[in-house]
Structure 1
Amino acid sequence: MYLLGLSLILLALKYFAIGPVAQWPWWWIAVPFGLTAAWWSWADWSGYTKRKTIEKENAKKNARIARDRARLGLTSPRKPKK
Structure 2
Amino acid sequence: MYFLGLGVVLLLLKYLEIGPLADWSWWWMLTPFALAVLWWTWADASGYTKRKAMEIEEKRMQDRRNRTKSALDANYKNKKR
Q: Higher helix proportion, which one? A: 2
For the aligned residue pairs, the C-alpha RMSD in angstroms reads 1.1
- Cα distance in 2 between the residues matched to 1:3 and 1:27: 15
Q: What is the aligned partner in structure 2 of residue 79 from structure 1?
A: none
Deviation at 1:19, TM superposition (A): 1.4
- Cα distance in 1 between the residues matched to 2:6 and 2:37: 13
Gaps spanning 5+ residues in structure 2: where?
Answer: 75-81
TM-score norm. by structure 2 comes to 0.86
Percent identical pairs in the alignment equals 51
Higher relative contact order (CA 8 A, sep 6+): 2
Gaps spanning 5+ residues in structure 1: where?
Answer: 75-82
Q: Which runs of 4+ in 1 moved over 3 A?
A: none
TM-score norm. by structure 1 comes to 0.85
